[in-house]
A and B are shown apart, each in its own frame.
Chain A
Amino acid sequence: MSKARDNILARLRARNAEKAPVDLDRTVESPDWSREERIDRFCKAMRSVKTEVHTVGRENWAKKLAELSKQKKLKNLLYAPAGPLAEPIEAVWRAGEGLPELVTREVEVDGWKEELFFDIDAAVTSTRSAIAEVGAMILWPTPEEPRTFSLVPPVHIAVVEADQLHNTFADAIAAEEWTSGMPTNALLISGPSKSADIEQTLAYGVHGPVELIVLLIE
């Protein structure tokens, strides 16, 4: 098909009148928000799209996770034993009683796809950072916490660090130097999946998680 390529490029280059290059100013100003303002905006924006946000401390977030899983009557909870959240989760689960079964599958998803699709109630993942302005979390899924964890189970619980809140998406890209190497998949997630395709009426829980719970470590 390289003939198609050559033809297309040749046609594009055959423009007789040269269009002047556009003078594009890419400098962006970031709002000057304090840490509190960032937290406040993030929580408000996420809640406005039906995300359940809990502010927690570094010491007690795993307890909150246990409490919520009980409250929501989860049958099981998928987590990454080699991921950054493993230790506190395992400690709380060891001590707790009547908690949902912790599920770990440290192999390629292909081998247990059916279980992932039809048996897992919830998954907990870490996040890379988040955006205050619009209320979105940034995830760069890893081998330990693969892409489907935040997508397939009906409940997604995500742990967000308040210290990792950027003002805007543009800030995140610049501060984290995304241009020096993009991951296989980078994601912004702002709420549980939804659709307004029927009569422009919002309905939550379409193909992704039905519930999104954020534990914000202040």
Chain B
Amino acid sequence: MQQKAEFEQRVQKALNNPQLRRNFRVAMDGLMEKRSNAFPDKEALEALRITGANIRANALVKQPELLEQLEANCTRNGIQVHWAETIEQANRIVLEIMERHQATGMIKGKSMVSEEMELNHFLEAQGNSCIESDLGEYIIQLDHETPSHIIAPAIHKSKQEIAQLFQEKHPDIPYSEDIETMTRSARKILRGKFFEADVGLSGVNFAVAETGTLCLVENEGNGRMCTTVPPVHIAVTGIEKVVEKLADVPPLLKLLTRSASGQHISTYFNMISSPRKPGERDGPTEVHLVLLDNQRSRIYADEELFDSLRCIRCGACMNHCPVYTRIGGHAYGSLIPGPIGSVIEPQKFGLENFGVLPTASTLCGACGEVCPVKIPLPKLLHRLRYEQVRNDHTGATIGQGSQRSTREALIWKLWSWAHANPAVYRGGTRLAGLLRGVVPNKIGPWTRVRTAPKIAPKSLHQLAREEGFENE
């Protein structure tokens, strides 16, 4: 129950921080509006979502074959492919590549998988430097924080807070709260870093099996810098990112940029199929692809939870989530927050650690409605609520049954027994009606923010009978 107490503490802290709540409210309202404007034709949107869901589902069904095909084509193109079952293995692979090149400085483009690996932490402990180059990631790295949103990592901060942070970390740069000025300062600082870095690291949005192509979506140009300027490029990705054909890319790209930020297309769409070829004058001479499992193959085994692997990480589900908008990303305590985080993270790190997350939802259904690849998020949240209290030990999720409470289980047993026995049920409601005067005014957490419910003197059944309804 400790995770629950800690979660509640973080939620309280977030709810009591008006600045934080304003930052999220304003940003999420903006993102929702932008998405909605980018999809003016609701019918076309629905058709596109079906296509997107089918493309991703098809890729998952064929995943083992596609991974082999991807590996074969990348290898033929000169990209070195590595497989990692765990984050430890993935970190080792990256470190070994760096050591082989006697490299000590890495520049990073935005990559949620590298966050999952806690790569910075790992490499820094080995004496290397890792610099985040995505503006949002750079800001939170300066403040030793984790991302609070998967596409807008520093969304929890206001410009004043960022200006103060810049002032503190770079006292030589004149203080400014002007967003363009701050952006230019970051440009200047990071130019030197791109120039010096020995290794560039990036994530992957789609890995195309058919051609052995790694696709990256971005606006800032830092992704292109990381994958073009340093002599070595390492791409890290989850195994689920593979798609079958090049023709699958345009619909997914369309869904991704529009759902994420309302853009018709990102500033850059960067497709990498090989290292520098003889005669070419720039680009890395080595390109590595690290394919990370880290529990994905376990999720893959479950017929229903399988669908969560369709995710293209657009962030729309969190932008539209009433819970996320109020408590922000850090309150979740997980790497990926919001509805998709509440589905993925407990499956990766165990219900005993993150079982509280699926309960952080009103099940309003907004996430499932906006998801560009139609992941039935509410259904999966529901499923994980069941997984954490089931006691038949036949589930596949780590930590199944860990949140089961005997008291709750007993209450539900009684409840279903009463509902299966009309006499008991009738007697029970009559008794409740008679005892209505003695219902206490304070019932635990329920009455902390609400008044206690009052039981009606007559049950619905009784009223119906009095009205002349015969058939119960």
Contacts and interface: CB of A to CB of B under 8 A. Distances in A.
Partners in one complex: yes
Interface of A: 1-2, 4-5, 7-9, 11-17, 19-26, 28, 45, 49, 107-110, 113-114, 117-118, 131, 133-136, 143, 146-148, 151-152, 168-170, 173-174, 178-179, 182-201, 203-209
Given A22-B54, A195-B219, A184 B274 contact: yes
Nearest to A109: B282
B283 A146 contact: yes
Interface in B257-282: 261, 264-277, 279-282
A83 to B, nearest CB: 12
B159 A187 contact: no
A205 B301 CA distance: 45
B21 interface: no
A143 B60 CA distance: 37
A52 B437 CA distance: 75
Interface of B: 23, 26-27, 30-31, 54-55, 57-58, 60-64, 67-68, 71, 77, 82-85, 89, 93, 133-136, 139, 152-155, 157-159, 162, 179-180, 182-184, 186-187, 190-191, 194-195, 210-213, 219-222, 224-225, 228-229, 231, 239, 245-251, 253-254, 261, 264-277, 279-283, 291, 293, 297-298, 300-301, 303, 306
**Considering residues A25, A45, A143, A198, which has the most beta carbons from chain B within 10 angstroms of its beta carbon?**
A198
Given A1-B83, A17-B303, A208-B225, 4 more contacts: A146-B282, A178-B246, A188-B268, A197-B154
25 contacts: A8-B293, A9-B67, A11-B293, A12-B239, A12-B297, A21-B62, A49-B267, A170-B250, A182-B271, A184-B272, A187-B224, A187-B269, A190-B266, A194-B267, A196-B152, A196-B261, A197-B135, A197-B153, A198-B157, A199-B27, A199-B158, A201-B159, A206-B135, A206-B186, A206-B222
Given A19-B61, A173-B247, A196-B152, A184 B187 contact: no
Contacts of B261: 196
B31 A200 contact: yes
A190 B306 CA distance: 35
B269 A108 contact: no
A46 B162 CA distance: 30
Given A7-B85, A134-B264, A184 B275 contact: yes
Contacts of B62: 21
A12 to B, nearest CB: 4
Contacts of A108: 281-282
Contacts of B153: 197
A184 B224 contact: no
Main secondary structure, interface of B, reads helix
A216 B26 CA distance: 38
Contact of A184 (B85, B277, B298): B277
Contact of A22 (B61, B251, B280): B61
A40 to B, nearest CB: 15
A119 B254 CA distance: 37
A15 B180 CA distance: 51
A8 B297 contact: yes
